[in-house]
Structure 1
Amino acid sequence: MNVLIITGAIVIIGSMAFINHVINKDESLLVKMWLVPLLSMFIVIPIALFGLVYWGILRIASNFNPIIFSDDLSLFGAGVLLIVAFLLAEVLIHPVGAVFYFLMFKRKPHWVEKNILSIFLDTLVIYLIMDLVPSVEMKHWMTAFSISVFVHVIGWLIEGIGKMMKKKS
C-alpha cells in the first residue's frame, strides 16, 4: 500500500510541476492545462475511493469465507477489477439478462426478480474476476455470492436514503 501512496504522490507532484512550468511560459494555457488534471481527478478519485471500499469489503469477507489474497496489493487490484466488472455488468450483462428473461417468460421482470437476477449475474462476474486474478484464491462460489449480496444491500441502502432525502426536499 505504501508503494501506491508514494507513486500517487510522485505523479501528483510531477504533474503539478509540469503544469506550473507550462503556465509560467504561456498564460493562455492556464485554463486548458488545469482542466485536464481536474477532469481526470473527477474520474480517478471516485474509482480509487470505491476501490478502497471494495478493498475493505473483501478484507471483511475474507475473514468469514475461504478467500485468500497473497498481499494487500492483490486485494486492492481485485477490488478495482471488481469495480470495472460491476460497471460492465450494469451496462452490458444486466440488460442482456433482462432481455433473456423477457424472451423466456414474455413479460418484464418484477423488481424482486430483477434483483435476484442481478445478484446471480454479479455472483458469476465476481467469481470469474477472482478466478482471473492469479494472486487471489477463492475456494467456494458462496464467497462471491456473499460479496454480491453485500454490495447490493449497500446499493439498496443508498437508493433508500436518496429517496428519503428527495421526499424531504
Structure 2
Amino acid sequence: MLLMPDKTWQWGYNASYDALSISLGADMEFLTPYKSKVLIPDAFSAAEFDVEHARYYMDIVERLGKRMSLADAYLVQVALNATAARFMQKPQMPKSWFFESSDVCVYSEPGKLFDLRCNGDRVLVLVVETSLQASLVMLLDECCALSDSKQLKRFDTIKVMHDRLHPLRAQQQIVAA
C-alpha cells in the first residue's frame, strides 16, 4: 500500500539515531539514513511536510512506478529518502572524478534513472535534484566502492557532472538475417 502525504506528516530529527525522520502520523516514524553532519539547520527542529515536499514525493512515486516494478514499501522508502535528500541535505560540490565519463549527452531531471560507472562496475542512481551542469543522485543499488577506503551505501547521495550519467539501455534483440 502506497503512503499518501497528509497534513499530519512532519519532519523531525531523531537524536537517538542521529538521523532525520518523518513522522507519518500518530504511530509511524520513518527514519532516513541521513545523519546530522549532512543536514541543513532547519532539519533539527520540527517542520511541516509542506505542499512542495508532498508534490515532489508524489512525482518520484509516479515516475518510479512507471519505470520500474517495485514493491510499494520500497517505492515509498525511495521516494521519502529522495524527498529528504532534496529538501533537508546541505548542498554538495560535485565529486565526478570517481566515475567514468559517458559518451552520450543526457537530459537530467528529478526522478530519472541513470547508471554510474565506477571501477568497472555499474550502479543504478536516481536523480534527486539537477542544475545546469550537475545532478545530485541517490544510489539505488546496495553499494558502490569509490575507492579502497570510501564507499556509498544504498540511499547515499553524491553530486556528479552530467557527463558522468550513462543512460539506461533497454535490452536489444539482435536478429540475424
More helix by share: 1
More strand by share: 2
The structure with the larger Rg is 1
Same fold, TM exceeding 0.5?
no
Q: TM-score range by the shorter chain?
A: 0.3 to 0.5
Q: State the structure with bigger RCO (CA 8 A, min sep 6), 1 or 2.
A: 1
